[in-house]
Chain A
């Protein structure tokens, strides 16, 4: 799946790094590094991270077959 984070919005709350640690990591205190093409097996965790982000900075494509 494809992911992009608007790092202008990101404030380093790190909810994503707790919920999907394979795909989101902090570099230092608040700089976010992420995998823009995580394996589809990660989708559930990624979607939890999307929902939990306090500043709604994580964007993904709709799942295949979902209503766009």
Chain B
């Protein structure tokens, strides 16, 4: 018999147990064994003892019993009672009688455990308050093997097969601590109760986290694909309009860019790069199973899963190529009704102003432009008389605010669970007259209709109202200047009003409206209503076989009204211009699928799923305009009051998608995992010869840590290798693209309009899917029991049969035809790290860091290179972009700027190429700068993007610090082009004070009046930035104070967003995009500036 010593306890173990003990932490095990409450075995009831003891110590008697029987004792070696001498004789005595005899007159008692263990421990521990209860997960399923410990003691218990436990507590005030691998540790004060039921929440960090995948869920450890997960806690750490803003920087492989930044403004999300040129590269959003569904506010969302590799996305077939975002909304849990109220109020300030010429400097500059052009006129005879003039940025910017309130109730009885919430989000923009409001409500019901039948609904409604100002306005002229670009370029020599009270207009160049007038007079209101609902039936046909069917409808109604009054140029010319338009969009989705789970011989786990879906979409749109009103007061609500009807438009488009899909998961001993998926999709949008496509994928994962040879590496807690390959598609093109089409329009005959039709497109019966093949290799590593987890992924995506508007010879009468031609690739590397830096009862600090490298390249194009222009219309000038094989999509294209000619201040562009005798382009300077000397001058794709989130918890305080960044991307700053081009058409940046003059020749700003708006490296800037996106400090009011008020939890916090940004970018904000589209990235013109916010917030739970 071997002895095993550990600390104060000593125990004789059977060899088999010893082996287990080696790999488990002894103290934990001992604690468990000490108090496990199990019935004595049959053996302990039947064993009889015949002993003859003469003056032996208790210790020796126990050894004798061990020798004679299968009982093993477990006791503290230092108990003084063990040395007490005994003398007695027994015949045919049970173990209980024997033990009573042995331990008579001592301070210790005993208990017989399973496996014939007998524990000897002080009597005080054996005779305490008994507490029992049941431990379940949030779905009410019992948790087996949960460790329950009386805090501050070594008393513990383990839950049984029904999730129940019984424990002896030291006293009524003690606290029970529940812990279970994969779940958040929970503490409950006994508070005099003898029955304590506990619900344990899944630990999101844990490997046992359940991940939502398409048409099902999977344990994270069983995942074969690349899936990023963002939890509700991250989504609501600061107020954001939608999940897109909230996920920025939160996960690897996802790039989020604001399109403008105005209240209610959109974003562009790219998952592992853009896969298309002419079709959309937006991911597919699936909300509670509703593909293409609208997404509720972040507060109502339980989790977001971002499916990245083909293994994960192929189940969405023709819509999976750009990644899939699965959104799961919150649902109720059985238990007391919980009422939560979350609110926040933010103060927003404009993040940055541009430094412009003041009125005197502006007047001098304009005079100089005029003089340099040879004109004798002097527009501003006495520049200094204007002083500093008007700061138009100060006039259009103001302090904004953001309010966000959410009230929710959730709970349920045994067969019924609900979650319902109301949400209000209101933003008052930092530009005058711009605001956004959103009201929404969500109700989710889940009902157990029978033993095998579950039904439920998901209902979401929303209204949003947006009052927009003209920002990012692409075309200037006298009638269409944006508020922001207008504030930058308009003359500082004038004020808001003329002497007669009318609004001033620009005194230089086109007499456009001043930006205050544009912001306050132009009315542009959008009201968007949405109702989205779905119902599901979940029927367990037999053990392991479940049928699920959902039917969902999403209906959107949008109304936009705008009015340009006579106080603005555009309205003055036509007597006021009113327009109102509406659209109605209906999407219907039905999904039916069967899933089957089977475990064979405990080592083969099989999960099969097969289903079918049908989705249809119908969009209606109509708009009407009229001019010439007797008053501005009608706005757009009396179109018939106008005298000059304009064109009306209406349009209908419809599409259908029919699909069959299936997936097979096979798991061998949790070590080897295989996944196969496939989906057949048939789409109405494609050519009649290519309606159907098949999208398969396969994946393999190996939990290497489960292998025996790694068993002894205790620091390594996880090691998993993943590999997947698959094909997904993209069909996100408009409707009717495969059909020939006559467009109808109007011709003017004698000032009247008559019907006209023209051929507008040719048929392409072969129009098919874009197909993206993706390979992903990943590694998940964990150390020190999950204190450090790392996920690494390498991917390669090749998109072929690009949906591309192939240019046709124009003499054919058509400019292009949508074809499947050309290819491009995205490849990259992603690293996600999460660490638990400090964890003790008072202080915890966890960090999440992610970094993603991605490279985009055009591999082949049908017609070689395409050079095109993506600059705002009024910044007249040359081409700005190129699409060419071997370069990233959306590369900037232009001249290399070499500063100014010292002699005359004209801009110099570098001569890099010429032509040989055969007129072939050669990269040799030829002394002439012409279009041959253009080259790629910038890449709008970042080298890498990163996010770094830190959460600290100290007693009742919590602190979140979140950095996010984009590095290595180029921006084409059209705003600065207009503010440094020195052509005398508007105000300029203060940098233009350093322009070339005969006395200031050492500069790179050309002479006043130079023509310098050519696309060149001069306007290309490094768009890298890293910013402190959020920092917030919260305080949880102690429970003892709250209890009196009947409040379960109350947290107050203060936060700051975008407080600090490191960037070399000279514009308002590097995180913007003028002109959305895969071929026009990284452009900035007149964008709404980013704001800095201070947020005060409150979370209450009743």
A and B interact: no
- CB within 8 Å of B: which residues of A? none
- CB within 8 Å of A: which residues of B? none
